[in-house]
């Protein structure tokens, strides 16, 4: 069955440091993958999406992610974080890519915070 694992429940870095949030997926075939961000008490906002093609995808606010089929991973990166990045980040895989019904399975999320 399709699944997503975010192995780090919490990640903390200093402002200006680089960020990597890990995502591992389990999917038979080539997945469609997404990263969403959730700010406190808000809905989810799409950061970036991967459809089969270039393994490195660019998103909003300086985020990028790299798809690796050999590692079954889709890690999110940012070169230099800012206080505005303090949020929960969710990785998701599409259950039925190519059907037009884009149902998602989400990971448990990674809470990202900055060292004061």
Partner 1 sequence: AQTIHQWPVAEIKAVGSPLSLGCTIKGKSSPNLYWYWQATGGTLQQLFYSITVGQVESVVQLNLSASRPKDDQFILSTEKLLLSHSGFYLCAWSPGQGNQAPLFGEGTRLSVL
Residues at the contact surface with partner 1, assessed by CB under 8 A: 32, 34, 36, 41-46, 49, 51, 90, 94, 97-98, 100-109
Question: Rounded to an integer, what distance in angstroms lies between the CA atom of residue 13 and that of residue 103?
Answer: 32
Shortest distance (Å) from residue 89 CB to partner 1? 12
Shortest distance (Å) from residue 56 CB to partner 1? 17
Token pair for residue 51?
A: 């459809």
| Nearer CB in complex with partner 1: 85/107 | 107
List the beta bridge partners of residue 67: 74
In 3D space, the residue among 95, 113, 111 whose CA is nearest the CA of residue 34 turns out to be: 95
Shortest distance (Å) from residue 34 CB to partner 1? 5
| Nearer CB in complex with partner 1: 29/70 | 29
Residue 58 has, within 13 A of its CA and on its CB side, a CA count of: 2
Number of H helices, E strands in the chain: 0, 12
| Nearer CB in complex with partner 1: 79/96 | 96
| Nearer CB in complex with partner 1: 51/86 | 51
């Amino acid at each position: 069955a399709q699944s997503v694992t975010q192995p780090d429940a919490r990640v903390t870095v200093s402002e200006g440091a680089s960020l990597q949030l890990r995502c591992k997926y389990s999917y038979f075939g080539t997945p469609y993958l997404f990263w969403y961000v959730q700010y406190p008490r808000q809905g989810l906002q799409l950061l970036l999406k991967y459809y089969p093609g270039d393994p490195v995808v660019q998103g909003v606010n300086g985020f990028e992610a790299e798809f690796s089929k050999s590692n079954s991973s889709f890690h999110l990166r940012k070169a230099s974080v800012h206080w505005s990045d303090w949020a929960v980040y969710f990785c998701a895989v599409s259950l039925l890519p190519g059907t037009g019904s884009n149902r998602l399975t989400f990971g448990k999320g990674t809470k990202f915070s900055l060292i004061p």
